Chain A
Amino acid sequence: MITLNHYLVVAAMLFAIGLAGVVARRNILTIYMCLEMMLSAANLTLVAFSRFHLHDGLPDYHAQALVFFTITVAAAEVAVGLAIIVALYRARQSVDVTTVTKLQG
């Protein structure tokens, strides 16, 4: 029997993997994928809570509504983000975060 806790643990693992990737990876595209994974973890948590918060035998749809907004926002974020990363690649011929060091101090 799969319970709420199973979903929450999987989501927490996804979130942790994403966060570790953002901190440890150097390629900006990989970092971006890890960020998307963190959003997926949040979505999974929302859907799991929604499924197990029953109102009159039906799931509570408020959380599921937020999931759709999160997906849409993530798509918009990717569109803008990839454009900026492409501009960076054109300027530097690299998408390695360690080259982004002009601003310091």
Chain B
Amino acid sequence: MSAHNIEIALAVAAVALLGLDAFVPTLKRDIIPKLSIGLVGLALLAMFFAKGDTPAYLASYYRIDSIAMFYKVFALVATLAALIIAREADPVIAHFTGTEGPSTRIAEFYILPLIVCVGLMWMASAQDLISVFVPLELVTVTFYVLVAFARRSAVSLEAGVKYLILGALSTGILVYGIAWIYGATGSMTFAGIAKAVGAASTSKSALIVGAALLLAGLGFKVAAAPFHVWVPDVYQGAPTPVTAFLSVGSKAGAFIVLTRAVQALTATGSQISGEVQTTLLWSGVITILFGSLAAITQTQIKRLLGYSSISHAGFILLALAAGDSARFGISSEGVVAFYLATYLPMTMLGFLLLAVLRSQGVAEELSQLQGLSKRSPGMAFALAVAFASLAGLPLTAGFIGKMLVFLAAVDKGWYGAVGLAVVGAAAGFYYYFRPILAAYSAGKPEDTALRWSLPAKATAAVLVLAIVTLGVYPKALQSALKQNIVLTSAGK
């Protein structure tokens, strides 16, 4: 079975589940969530046996290579984690949609992530600006619904409206950029663009207009400065599982597109490779600084994670700008993929804990975490691992990701940029450790013990294990995926 069949099957399954929900009114509340999780798990399993060959009739739009396979697996894992978090957040979502009780359902909340997943998997293989645009919009439009899903909550609705307007704005900018790139190069495929950017007959000014608009449109999706303004509000307002999925899935999808676009625009002999590189570099540095410094004063944890997500996007942009480094044996796309692979477990773990805590009445405020270590030692430990890794403490996954980015930038001789990024990372140690300190501080005497369900506990254990394994033995990712996407010598 070829990998693209898995995506098609998943899309068909999602539509079938919607039909099942619509036409079988007697269905029990937890059937659709279980089916949904089961299907994603099955697809993930099938992915490891899938062949990486591209069918000939798709070849000009779609290619399955090792980096595409990585992002497809990544999309499935992120969807699975988001669905598990959604199950933990079910009572909260039910409260804000007026569907409490076993006879009602919120099936769409568990089916729409499957559609997002299909979009992300397709994007991973896209070789053509048309086949980039359509899945990108499939993901964005589905997220409009998901962000505003808890429609009786004023903040969820408000986040939905903000995401809607800024998302649609970024779509407009992106399409206009695609139009200008097409106008300048006469081609819609990445291969054709890579060939045309070096040609003398290509107009440099038209190319710059197109590239600037394209990078701005994608910058919105990955939360790069100066297009990050929507992130804190939307992350805080959206339901927790959606925030988790948005910060991991949507970001990874936009980054694979950005990786391929940057590779095409900076192909050998390109007239604008210098401009693209400088833009990415300074956008990355400003993103890191903004995300890190604005997070210092935050007390709302979802908002804090929003700023954290901005700052991580900055590090990935820096890796993209730096390009391949022969001295350290790392490739740009490999560093981006590895950074995202470390970002997934730590962010998902953070949001999983927030969802578990929220369902037991602990709000997403720093002060509410006090005494967590007494109320549930396991949760406090998992929280400490997640936030330590987000900060980049050695022996956690986050450290290796940041180190690779610094290596790639140092190899280019960008000491100023590295210095500023280190300032951002150091600020991270301050604000990421505040939740950990709160969790291990003394609580109030009337605090009761917190419980978590078995699936949540098992997922948290797997994520903690993933963070530590990637931090101690980063090559595990490479051997686990049997894909040569990551590094050759560095990161040991």
Contacts and interface: CB of A to CB of B under 8 A. Distances in A.
Nearest to A14: B176
B75 to A, nearest CB: 20
Nearest to B159: A103
Interface in B220-240: 232-233, 236-237
B422 interface: no
The contact size tier of chain B is 35 or more
Given A35-B165, A87-B157, A66 B137 contact: no
Interface string A9-22: 00000010011001
A15 to B, nearest CB: 6
A103 B129 CA distance: 35
A41 B176 contact: yes
Given A49-B182, A103-B233, A22 B165 contact: yes
SS of B interface (majority): helix
Contacts of B171: 35, 39, 73, 77
Interface residues of A, number: 41
Contact of A84 (B137, B155, B157): B157
B154 A102 contact: yes
B212 interface: no
Given A28-B161, A63-B182, A91-B154, A77 B130 contact: no
Contact of B172 (A35, A49, A69): A35
Contacts of B237: 102-103
Interface in A62-79: 62-63, 65-66, 69-70, 73, 76-77
A73 B134 contact: yes
Nearest to B173: A38
B250 to A, nearest CB: 16
Interface SS, A side: helix
Contacts of B169: 22, 35, 38
30 contacts: A8-B183, A19-B172, A32-B165, A32-B168, A35-B169, A38-B169, A38-B172, A38-B173, A39-B172, A42-B175, A45-B179, A45-B183, A46-B178, A49-B182, A66-B133, A66-B175, A70-B133, A73-B141, A76-B141, A77-B137, A77-B141, A84-B148, A84-B164, A85-B161, A88-B158, A91-B154, A103-B232, A103-B236, A103-B237, A105-B303
Interface of B: 129-130, 133-134, 137, 141, 144-145, 148, 151-152, 154-155, 157-162, 164-165, 168-169, 171-173, 175-176, 178-180, 182-183, 186-188, 232-233, 236-237, 298, 300, 303
